[in-house]
């Protein structure tokens, strides 16, 4: 796999392809980053962008993980003290998950976001941005109903992080795309380059196949889960046997989260996936790529129950080092 393919595999969107091609031509010494509001324990949403950071490290990039304590505070996630404490725990979780420690820089937002220059640049961006635009950028990030001033400041700070961290590539889930588009538009007004970004897909809720899998609602997988927890969540997951899931009452399309987790979590980290089956059901299956597994599930060759058994096994392997780290 060449550098461009590794950088862009499983991405929902890159902005722009030409800019990513230029980075892929000479990735050594280039830096990519993801920012996370600290939550202490990694969950499957963090793991998705972390997989992309691992791809980028394998392609030659250096990586910054921003533990965005000030952003979490602005997003009403608790007292600043609590958030700081949670941020400390997250660092070791990322390393346990598989980020290359020798090449990952962890930065707390508050290490630079309270400096004079940053603050003045932030005010310059505030002058350039309408409240409506800032609010739109946050539509998929905040949960609260009423819009606070903090939510208008938040995306402007996220935009400003990019030049202040000196990164060449901003990575995030699709819910971050409007913030990155805002950054492309406003950063030139303070003589900074419009940033290049890459967005990972959103994975549907494991239980229902709808919406977005997150830790706050619905079923998610986290580094705190025991093997039994993982097995029971995966066993209860929505996994229609064919490509044509039944229409729902409200007409909202459902995804197959079991397939999505195979595609975005398991195959990027394991070269081959083995599905164990008793001999009377055809014996074990082995896949060296996602497409073949999807085709077998859709044709009926692979039963959802067998796919789920394998999924629980591989998720457990991904989570076990983080679980052990938490027990320390
Ligand atoms: N908005 C992110 C957190 C975040 C991301 C970046 I990239 C930043 O520079 C700052 C904060 C979230 O929703 O978790």
Q: What are the pLDDT tens digits along the chain (328 aa)?
A: 899 999 999 999 999 999 999 999 999 999 999 999 998 899 999 999 999 999 999 999 999 999 999 999 999 999 999 999 999 899 999 999 999 999 999 999 999 999 999 999 999 999 999 999 999 999 999 876 778 999 999 999 999 999 999 999 999 999 999 999 999 999 999 999 999 999 999 999 999 888 776 655 678 899 999 999 999 999 999 998 775 556 666 667 789 999 999 999 999 999 999 999 999 999 999 999 999 999 999 999 999 999 999 999 999 999 999 999 999 8
Please tell me if the domain spanning 3-200 has the same topology as the one spanning 227-327. no
**Any residues with CB less than 8 A from the CB of 146 and at least 6 apart, and which?**
none
Q: How far is CA 12 from the centre of its chain?
A: 11
* pTM > 0.80: yes or no: yes
Dist CA 37 CA 33 (whole Å) = 13
Q: Which CATH architecture has domain 3-200?
A: 3-Layer(aba) Sandwich (3.40)
| pLDDT for the residue numbered 211 | 76
Please name the residue that has the structure tokens 């202040």.
164
| pLDDT for the residue numbered 253 | 79
| pLDDT for the residue numbered 175 | 96
| pLDDT for the residue numbered 216 | 59
Query: What is the best residue among 71, 139, 168 to mutate for testing ligand 1's pocket, by most ligand atoms within 8 Å of CB?
Result: 71
- Domain boundaries, given as residue ranges, for the chain: 3-200, 227-327
> Three-state SS for 212?
coil
| pLDDT for the residue numbered 248 | 64
Query: What is the best residue among 38, 151, 159, 172 to mutate for testing ligand 1's pocket, by most ligand atoms within 8 Å of CB?
Result: 172
Among 309, 314, 213, residue whose Cα is nearest residue 254: 213
Q: Which residues fall in the annotated binding site? A: 33, 154, 158, 161, 176, 215
| Alpha-helix residue ranges (DSSP H) falling in 75-115 | 80-97
Tokens read off for 161: 């992080």
Is residue 195 within 6 Å of ligand 1 at its C-beta? no
| pLDDT for the residue numbered 145 | 72
Question: Domain 227-327's class?
Answer: mainly alpha
Answer yes or no: are the C-beta atoms of 23 and 196 closer than 8 Å: yes
Q: Which helix (H) or strand (E) holds 234?
A: helix 227-235
User: Strand order in 13-15's β-sheet?
Assistant: 13-15, 196-200, 169-173, 31-36, 62-67, 104-108
Sign of CA dihedral 154, 156, 157, 161: positive
What CA–CA distances, in Å, run from 30 to 93, 156, 169, 170, 317? 24, 24, 8, 12, 30
Is residue 71 within 6 Å of ligand 1 at its C-beta? yes
ipTM of the complex: 0.97
| pLDDT for the residue numbered 247 | 61
| pLDDT for the residue numbered 48 | 97
CA-closest residue to ligand 1 atom 9: 158
**Any residues with CB less than 8 A from the CB of 274 and at least 6 apart, and which?**
284, 285, 286, 287, 310
**Any residues with CB less than 8 A from the CB of 50 and at least 6 apart, and which?**
34, 42, 94, 97, 98, 99
């Amino acid at each position: 796999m060449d550098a461009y393919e590794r950088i862009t595999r499983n991405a929902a969107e890159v902005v722009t392809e030409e800019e990513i091609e230029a980075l892929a031509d000479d990735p050594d010494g280039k830096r990519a980053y993801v920012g996370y509001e600290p939550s202490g324990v990694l969950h499957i949403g963090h793991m998705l962008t972390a997989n992309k950071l691992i791809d980028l490290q394998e392609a030659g990039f250096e990586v910054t993980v921003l533990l965005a304590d000030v952003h979490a505070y602005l997003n009403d996630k608790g007292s600043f003290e609590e958030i700081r404490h949670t941020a400390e725990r997250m660092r070791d979780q990322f390393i346990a998950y598989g980020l290359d420690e020798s090449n990952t820089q962890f930065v707390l937002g508050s290490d630079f976001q309270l400096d004079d220059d940053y603050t003045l640049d932030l005010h310059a961006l505030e002058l350039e941005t309408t409240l409506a635009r800032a609010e739109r950028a946050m539509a998929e990030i905040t949960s609260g109903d009423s819009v606070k001033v903090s939510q208008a400041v938040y995306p402007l700070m996220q935009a400003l992080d990019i030049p202040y961290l000196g990164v060449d590539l901003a990575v995030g889930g699709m819910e971050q795309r409007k913030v990155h588009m805002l950054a492309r538009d406003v950063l030139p007004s303070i003589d900074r380059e419009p940033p290049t970004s890459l967005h990972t897909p959103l994975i549907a809720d494991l239980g229902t196949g709808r919406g977005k899998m997150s830790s706050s609602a619905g079923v998610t997988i986290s580094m705190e889960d025991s093997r039994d927890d993982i097995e029971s969540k995966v066993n209860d997951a929505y996994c229609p046997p064919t490509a044509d899931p039944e229409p729902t009452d409200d007409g909202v399309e459902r995804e197959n989260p079991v397939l999505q987790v195979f595609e975005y979590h398991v195959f990027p980290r394991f070269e081959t996936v083995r599905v164990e089956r008793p001999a009377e059901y055809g014996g074990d299956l082995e896949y060296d790529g996602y497409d073949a597994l999807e085709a077998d599930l859709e044709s009926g060759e692979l039963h959802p129950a067998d796919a789920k058994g394998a999924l629980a096994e591989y998720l457990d392997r991904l989570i076990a080092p983080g679980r052990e780290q938490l027990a320390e």
